[in-house]
Amino acid sequence: MTLAVFGSVGLDNIVTPAASVEGVVGGSAVYFSLAASLFTQVRLAANVGGDFPTQAWDTLRARGTDLSGLQVFADRPTFRWSGRYQGTMNEAETLATELNVLVEEPLVPDSYRDSRYLFLANMAPATQLEILQAFPQATAFADTMNLWIENERAALDSLLELIYGLVVNEGEARMLTGEHNLLRAGMALQNMGPDVVIIKKGEHGAFLFTPDGRFGLPAYPVENVVDPTGAGDSFAGGLMGSLAAAEDFGMDALRRAMATGTVCASLTVEAFSTSGLEAASLADVEKRYLELQDFLRFQ
């Protein structure tokens, strides 16, 4: 089934303890779509500047991704982010952010409006609300960040009342709820509106909260982490792609989707930028999925 995603397309400068890169492809919508397109038909919507490399779309086009929602501003620069990872690389230090074309409202093509599933990647809650209104029949999930929690809480609270699922990291969950304990935070987030809440814990996996129960999953173990950028967006893409392919949001399907998401994240962090996901095949995902399954049985 069709899955629409609205988010960012960017060019990143990244510094890690081992190396650095400049002007590489990034953005939440790109990572999400590369993961989700392994499982289902994806419709991508985002703003992009004239400096974005057109060859970056080759893999997504080959996987059948609909790019009608790309709004190209030929005479303006693409969103840019610069970040640095140190030590265990669990969290990035933002060095610079240039919103550029990201300040413009995204395009919502008429051809996208019958999408059965929708993911609203990190953007202003007011914008997420506007997009959501164009998809009244879709099962919608969303992401957010500390900036919106601090500065646009009223709009974010309105969004939480309307979406089916929320995907956030542990810091965002604590900030949203005031609860340090993640089990309490997850339940508090459900009380704000979403039926399904997923709290990402980076290298420590993720928690799932549903009306039918809770579930915890470890991350797929990665020996050589090269670049954690986009891991959370890849997790969300694998999760939503799996759910859309199954057309099922029951507890078993959600567990499988979480495992799929964590495998997609593991493929992302083993290389800079999007190259890990671009090189990945469905067979690669299935192999790691089975390895993770075996690991959980052993535990």
Any idea what the CATH number is for the domain that residue 26 is in? 3.40.1190.20
* pTM (two decimals): 0.96
Has residue 267 been placed in a domain?
A: yes
179 lies in which domain range? 3-292
Q: Is the pLDDT of residue 38 over 80?
A: yes
Extended strands (E) in the chain: 3-6, 10-15, 20-26, 42-49, 66-73, 79-84, 93-98, 117-120, 139-142, 165-169, 196-200, 206-210, 213-217
Contact yes or no for 183/213 (Cβ under 8 A): no
Copy the structure tokens of residue 189: 């987030």
pLDDT confidence of residue 102: 92
Mean pLDDT, rounded, of the chain: 95
User: Structurally, how many domains does the chain consist of?
Assistant: 1
Average pLDDT (148-153) is: 93
Average pLDDT (269-292) is: 96
Give the amino acid at 251: M
Has residue 160 been placed in a domain?
A: yes
Copy the structure tokens of residue 110: 């008429």
Average pLDDT (196-224) is: 93
Residue 18's pLDDT band, with cuts at 50, 70 and 90, is confident
Has residue 299 been placed in a domain?
A: no
Residue with tokens 């809770």: 214
Sign of CA dihedral 157, 161, 167, 170: positive
pLDDT confidence of residue 204: 86
Has residue 92 been placed in a domain?
A: yes
Name the maximum alpha-carbon separation found in the chain: 56
Has residue 48 been placed in a domain?
A: yes
Average pLDDT (175-194) is: 97
pLDDT confidence of residue 247: 93
Q: Is the pLDDT of residue 296 over 80?
A: no
Query: How many CA within 13 A on the CB side of residue 286?
Result: 5
Has residue 298 been placed in a domain?
A: no
Has residue 297 been placed in a domain?
A: no
